[in-house]
């Protein structure tokens, strides 16, 4: 990263590739961003997760992941978020939903569902929400 890029806010920095070699996605990190998607976006629950989507115009897809304390302790919540990140990477690797903010919220079923079921839940929710595929 050049010194000029280091001064830019994170959302205006160029995307870097992920360590796994797949495409990099923007991340939702601030509470206000999550609340905007939850308040103004569309929602679809499917099995192990709830998907919230808000179209923000042109640009890269920005993803956010969350798991509430009702799900379990920090180990359980972090495992759920890692699994959701992997499912999102697999789903959006070929064709990301440009111009959308997407929040994935873990549900109780994520603890016992297989990874294949998690990916199917994500895919079904995105289709139901009408995201470009």
The answer to whether residue 77 is domain-embedded is yes
Per-residue pLDDT of the chain (133 residues; tens, 9 = 90+): 444 444 444 444 444 444 454 556 788 999 999 999 999 999 999 999 999 999 887 788 899 999 999 999 999 999 999 999 999 999 888 777 788 899 999 999 999 999 999 999 999 999 999 886 6
**What is the domain count for the chain?**
1
Residue 127: CA count within 13 A, CB half-sphere: 8
| Token pair 């990099």: residue | 24
Tell me if residue 66 falls in helix, strand or coil: strand
The answer to whether residue 30 is domain-embedded is yes
CATH number of the domain within which 56 lies: 3.30.230.10
**Residue 77: domain span:** 26-128
The answer to whether residue 93 is domain-embedded is yes
Distances (CA, A) of 88 to 6, 8, 32, 43, 94: 27, 26, 22, 16, 11
């Amino acid at each position: 990263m050049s010194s000029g890029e280091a001064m830019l806010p994170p959302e205006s920095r160029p995307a870097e590739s992920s360590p796994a070699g797949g495409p990099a996605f923007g991340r939702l990190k601030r509470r206000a961003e999550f609340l905007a998607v939850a308040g103004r976006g569309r929602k679809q629950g499917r099995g192990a997760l709830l998907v919230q989507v808000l179209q923000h115009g042109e640009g890269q897809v920005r993803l956010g992941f969350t798991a509430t304390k009702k799900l379990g302790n920090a180990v359980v919540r972090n495992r759920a978020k890692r699994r959701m990140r992997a499912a999102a990477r697999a789903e959006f690797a070929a064709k990301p939903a440009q111009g959308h903010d997407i929040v994935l919220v873990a549900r109780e079923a994520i603890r016992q569902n297989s990874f294949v079921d998690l990916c199917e839940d994500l895919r079904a929710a995105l289709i139901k929400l009408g995201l470009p595929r």
